[in-house]
Amino acid sequence: MKSAVIVFPGSNCDRDMATALEQIGGTPPAMVWHGDHDLPDGLDLIALPGGFSYGDYLRSGAMAAQSPVMREVVRAATRGVKVLGVCNGFQILTEAGLLPGALMRNAGLKFVCRDVRLRVENAATAYSSGYAAGQEIRVPVAHHDGNYFADDALLERLEGNGQVVFRYLDNPNGSRHDIAGIINEAGNVLGMMPHPERLIEPIQGGTDGRPLFESVLATGR
Amino acid sequence: MSANATQITPQVVAEHGLTTEEYDVILQSLGREPNITELGIFSVMWSEHCSFKTSRVHLKKLPTQAPWVIQGPGENAGVIDIGDGDAAIFKMESHNHPSYIEPYQGAATGVGGILRDVFTMGARPVANMNALRFGAPDHPKMRHLISGVVAGIGGYGNCVGVPTVGGEVNFHPAYNGNILVNAMTVGLARTDKIFYSAAAGLGNPVVYVGSKTGRDGIHGATMASAEFTEDSEEKRPTVQVGDPFTEKLLIEACLELMASDAIVAIQDMGAAGLTSSSVEMASKGGVGLELDLDKVPCREEGMVPYEMMLSESQERMLMILKPGREAFAEAIFHKWGLDFAVIGTITDTGRLVLKFKGETAADIPLGPLGDNAPMYERPWVPTPKRAALPADQVAEPNDYGAALLRLIGSPDMASRRWIWEQYDHMVMADTIQRPGGDAAVVRVHGTSKALAISTDCTPRYCFADPVEGGKQAIAEVWRNITAVGARPLAVTDCMNFGNPQRPEIMGQFVGCIEGMAEACSALDFPVVSGNVSLYNETNGTGILPTPAIGGVGLLDDWDRMATIAFKAEGETVVLVGETLGHLGQSLYLREILGREDGPPPPVDLVAERRAGDLVRQQILGGGLSAVHDLSDGGLAGALVEMALAGKIGAVIEVPGDVEHPHAWLFGEDQGRYLVTTTEPLALLGAAQEAGVPAQVIGRTAGDRVVIGTLADVALADLELAHEEWLPGLMA
């Protein structure tokens, strides 16, 4: 399994993501600077970490989506390489057009950091096969702009295709249909607001984030 | 027009906060009249904030040494050795005045400033804490101030990606016109990669990095050294504006450069900006500096030397590089999109010389600027001791259950969840004890070690008796750190007081220092860094004396960490430490009876240490399942907090020999812990051997808190009372 974590100016969960990938997968990911024009060869997984890329100025994820390296990420995603976006990474994926919909300011208007309960809606993806369908898990969120919006037609399509992978049981941000994470139609690009990389050891308060990484690693290339 | 055209008149001198006597010393130091830039430099360097002119004589009394102290007060932050070549670097600082005027930016830049103090020494910041004091909750401005301060702390800390892991909040009308915002940062470095601020090396380049300089924050340090009046809001333009995104880039760029050997010295530009950083670096190194101000990156057109030297624009650092390493360093800063400018060189003149547009804008001998700085031994009177308040002079509650509910939902005890859920307290994925416990615990990444961090102070105790209050603040932080199983190592202090020119306020300051010094010595808990904030007054009314203490301790093995939550039903609840039933200055007295009376609980430092050492040893030996220190709300308060955290109730019996059950339950005697265990006999035996009173008082059970025949309250009701107060206030 060869993975890379993209580092944007203002990324701040890049090292957490790298730690999770290394602890669970055994090999450290390549850390790729946003200004680079090339990705390492033969990647199986590209992770876009959480944080405040470009200070969240303009719109969360909007500027990062225009970074030189993102053209390569889009190209790799089109080729079928797996791309995981967590929190700010999810925002970047929607801004880059790799995932549909948008993430707006939380309905409560405040930053929210707490554990939330999620239901695994689709356990048949490359990212969720380590969970059981319908399983309830607990993963932390930490964001200001996690309110997922899609119009009715898109929501119908997402639901119909099984593209909603994780759903909030106690919606912290006003997301439509309680959506916490979605996957693209091809099944290789996943975006989610909760942070699975923060819950991989019991001492962190639980290990419900671990199966996500184990799933990706199990599917390999 | 020349940059220094302003005439120096007595009025201009007074506007700079300098007394006639201080101005005379400036005339002697220079041997001539200063120009306006020079006057500005003297005024900020000799402000209370930068010169510690009132506090220095007294701060010297605090113990600062221990075998594990690498750097005590006097640097940007304190440094302690935590073994294996690792060091913890930390400091707490106030941003009170700006936060009252502009709560969001005031609090945000407070966080930014303290982060820089820590990473300038080579540490990666790993935890932020804060100690906040607000006025009466129903004061018309308070909701605005609370929401602004909390959003500002979160907005900055969340963006830079350093977890805000805990803190403390008090409410009291004494802070109505002068809230306190104290921010603390803890960082980690290697002991052989610590960076200091003393400039060295004749001819070495002086380098400016970070954000550009604007006109914001001019005279911030002077503002922080004067009392407030109604028109203080007009000072809003002196509040700095923060950009946490730039700070994040600055952290990464500095740490990247620090991995090399290019840096000789480095200091952040905090209060008094370019002035204090350049003067302090040169003075510490015993060298001179010549700066070419035309090279300072400016955000605005037409800035003059006076403005550049006094600006408190944020996210800037000053460095001395080794010769020839400029290009190497510049590449790193440009990669991170930050300004980089060589603005001067080190000289052997012992003078600070500023050039601007071909002219000399200032020429100050650094020796006199430092050596002649004013130092005052202001008159003080000790705070009169208060008469004892025996339990029989304090009414029992009519209804113990109702009192319990009221206490647990009172402003000083209610849940702070509304606040800490706005802080990212988990980023970096090493937070293993989240907010709500006795101390926050953060792992030393990739090791079995963890740091325990706590901030605390009980201002109502300090007001009633500064000496005992000062002792108590240190003892409680020590106890909080002990209660998670860590070995307390050192503290930083943030001394918030009123106008020191009033002898009774000065007496509070002197008293608190005396108590703190005594406790620090007795507990081997030295002060390694700190900050003094005086003149916390509005229209002549001072705040409660508030020596906020931030402590750091070490857990060698984080697997052994204790938490406050009850773990299982049927475990024995044991009260450790001596209970005398001290109700003076208790929360019970204030919240249930509406009285702020009597002396605060005395601190027996020998007993404190004995009880703490026993509890820590029992935690590390695996004998305890839950541990909580006793403070606000006494035994009853701690019991409810443990039950709520574990979602398990308890049945407690008041011992037969207790004369006053309300004093036993709500008294705030110090040096005590409430613990649970499955092996009570072993614990009682160990306690007896250690000479520490310990008593079985009940067991964990069910979903109610039952106290003999006095109270029987459902956990659900307690939880509602505890959780609903702050969201209700802020709704």
Whether the CB of B428 is below 8 Å from some CB of chain A: the reply is: yes
3-state SS of A36-99?
CCCCCCCCCEEEECCECHHHHCCCCCCCHHHCHHHHHHHHHHHHCCEEEEECHHHHHHHHCCCC
Whether residue A93 has pLDDT greater than 80: yes
Greatest mean pLDDT among B306-315, B364-373, B667-676 lies in B667-676
- Closest by CA to B561, choosing from B727, B659, B442, is B442
**Cα–Cα distances in Å, from A144 out to A69, A193, B110, B374?**
25, 10, 21, 48
3-class secondary-structure state, position B684: helix
Arithmetic mean of pLDDT, B259-263: 97
3-class secondary-structure state, position B13: helix
Whether residue B446 has pLDDT greater than 70: yes
CA atoms within 13 A on the CB side of A197: 31
Could you say which of B337, B425, B434 has the minimum Cβ distance to residue A9?
Answer: B337
Contact B424 A113 (CB under 8 A): yes
Contact residues, A window 147-186, toward B, CB-based 8 Å cutoff: none
Could you say which of B161, B337, B421 has the minimum Cβ distance to residue A113?
Answer: B421
Whether residue B236 has pLDDT greater than 60: no
Arithmetic mean of pLDDT, A199-212: 96
| Banded model confidence at residue B1, pLDDT cuts 50, 70, 90 | very low
| Banded model confidence at residue A220, pLDDT cuts 50, 70, 90 | low
Main-chain dihedrals φ then ψ at residue B119, nearest 5 degrees: -80, -15
Contact A55 B336 (CB under 8 A): no
Active site residue A13: no
Could you say which of A54, A111, A203 has the minimum Cβ distance to residue B158?
Answer: A111
Residues B401, B411 contacting (CB under 8 angstroms) = no
pLDDT score, position B215: 86
Contact B426 A113 (CB under 8 A): yes
pLDDT score, position B226: 64
Arithmetic mean of pLDDT, A120-143: 97
- Closest by CA to B547, choosing from B582, B510, B522, is B510
Whether the CB of B15 is below 8 Å from some CB of chain A: the reply is: no
Whether the CB of B423 is below 8 Å from some CB of chain A: the reply is: yes
Whether the CB of B255 is below 8 Å from some CB of chain A: the reply is: no
- Six token digits for residue A217: 């690693």
Between CA B685 and CA B682 the distance in angstroms is 5
The whole-model pTM stands at 0.96
Instruction: State how many domains chain A has.
Output: 1
- Six token digits for residue B378: 């202001």
Q: What is the DSSP string of B104-165?
A: HHHHHHHHHHHHHHHHTTTPEEEEEEEEEEE--TTSTTHHHHHHHHHHHHHHHHHHHT--EE
**Cα–Cα distances in Å, from B178 out to B235, B505, B534?**
14, 15, 11
Compare all CA atoms of chain B with the CA of A16 and give the residue at the minimum distance.
B428
Contact B160 A12 (CB under 8 A): yes
| Banded model confidence at residue B155, pLDDT cuts 50, 70, 90 | very high
Arithmetic mean of pLDDT, B79-106: 96
Between CA B49 and CA B47 the distance in angstroms is 5
Contacts of B559 in chain A (CB under 8 A): 203
Instruction: Report strand pairing: B626-629 vs B572-576.
Output: unpaired
Between CA B597 and CA B388 the distance in angstroms is 9
Whether the CB of B158 is below 8 Å from some CB of chain A: the reply is: yes
pLDDT score, position B228: 62
Between CA B175 and CA B372 the distance in angstroms is 35
- Six token digits for residue B712: 């029987």
Q: What is the DSSP string of B403-415?
A: HHHHHHTSTTTS-
B547-559 pLDDT tens trace = 999 999 999 999 9
Contacts of A19 in chain B (CB under 8 A): 429, 445
Other beta carbons less than 10 A from residue B724's beta carbon: 15
| Banded model confidence at residue A1, pLDDT cuts 50, 70, 90 | confident
- Closest by CA to A13, choosing from A92, A125, A104, is A92
Contact B161 A52 (CB under 8 A): yes
Contact A111 B427 (CB under 8 A): no
Whether residue B230 has pLDDT greater than 80: no
B667 alpha carbon, distance to own chain's centre: 27
Helix intervals (H) in A112-173: 152-160
Compare all CA atoms of chain A with the CA of B563 and give the residue at the minimum distance.
A203
Indicate which residue of A34, A143, A144, A195 is catalytic: A195
- Closest by CA to B226, choosing from B546, B535, B543, B537, is B535
Arithmetic mean of pLDDT, B473-488: 98
Contact residues, A window 88-147, toward B, CB-based 8 Å cutoff: 110-114, 140, 142, 144
Task: Tell me which residues of B are annotated as active site.
Answer: 49, 95
Please provide the average confidence, as pLDDT, over all residues in chain B.
95
Whether residue B142 has pLDDT greater than 50: yes
Arithmetic mean of pLDDT, A54-83: 96
Active site residue A177: no
Give the sheet arrangement for strand B572-576, strand by strand.
B626-629, B673-677, B572-576, B694-700, B650-652, B704-707, B711-714
Given the cut 0.90, state whether the ipTM is greater than it.
yes
Compare all CA atoms of chain A with the CA of B561 and give the residue at the minimum distance.
A203
Contact B243 A9 (CB under 8 A): no
Helix intervals (H) in B161-243: 220-223
Could you say which of B155, B245, B424 has the minimum Cβ distance to residue A54?
Answer: B245
Residues B99, B556 contacting (CB under 8 angstroms) = no
- Six token digits for residue B197: 């601020």
Indicate which residue of A72, A95, A121, A197 is catalytic: A197
Main-chain dihedrals φ then ψ at residue B513, nearest 5 degrees: -60, -40
B380-433 pLDDT tens trace = 999 999 999 999 999 999 999 999 999 999 999 999 999 999 999 999 999 999
Burial class (CB in 10 A: 0-12, 13-18, 19+), A67: buried
Contacts of B432 in chain A (CB under 8 A): 203-205
* Amino acid present at B584: G
Compare all CA atoms of chain A with the CA of B446 and give the residue at the minimum distance.
A19
Parent domain of A80: 3-219
Whether residue B366 has pLDDT greater than 50: yes
Contact residues, B window 343-382, toward A, CB-based 8 Å cutoff: none
Arithmetic mean of pLDDT, B355-374: 93
Compare all CA atoms of chain A with the CA of B159 and give the residue at the minimum distance.
A52
B185-227 pLDDT tens trace = 999 999 999 999 999 999 999 999 999 999 887 766 565 566 6
CATH of the domain at A113: 3.40.50.880
Whether the CB of A210 is below 8 Å from some CB of chain B: the reply is: no
Whether the CB of B429 is below 8 Å from some CB of chain A: the reply is: yes
Could you say which of B154, B434, B559 has the minimum Cβ distance to residue A111?
Answer: B154
Could you say which of B249, B420, B559 has the minimum Cβ distance to residue A9?
Answer: B249
* Amino acid present at B372: N
Whether residue B725 has pLDDT greater than 80: yes
- Six token digits for residue B567: 């773990």
Whether residue B20 has pLDDT greater than 90: yes
DSSP state of A198: G
Whether residue A19 has pLDDT greater than 80: yes
Whether residue A75 has pLDDT greater than 60: yes
Give the sheet arrangement for strand B527-533, strand by strand.
B431-433, B440-443, B450-456, B546-555, B487-496, B527-533
- Six token digits for residue B522: 């007795």
Residues B21, B53 contacting (CB under 8 angstroms) = no
Please provide the average confidence, as pLDDT, over all residues in chain A.
96
Whether the CB of B731 is below 8 Å from some CB of chain A: the reply is: no
Contacts of A57 in chain B (CB under 8 A): 245
Strands (E), B497-603: 527-533, 537-538, 541-542, 546-555, 572-576
Whether residue A61 has pLDDT greater than 90: yes
3-state SS of B624-651?
CCEEEECCCCHHHHHHHHHHHHHCCCEE
Smallest Cα distance from B85 to chain A, Å: 22
pLDDT score, position B453: 98
Between CA A197 and CA A13 the distance in angstroms is 9
Contact B161 A54 (CB under 8 A): no
Smallest Cα distance from A158 to chain B, Å: 30
pLDDT cut 90: percent of chain B above it? 92
Residues B199, B265 contacting (CB under 8 angstroms) = yes
Arithmetic mean of pLDDT, A157-163: 98
- Closest by CA to B700, choosing from B640, B654, B621, B622, is B640
Whether residue B238 has pLDDT greater than 70: no
Select from A113, A170, A193 the residue whose CB has the most chain B CBs within 10 Å, as the one to mutate to test that interface: A113
Smallest Cα distance from B512 to chain A, Å: 37
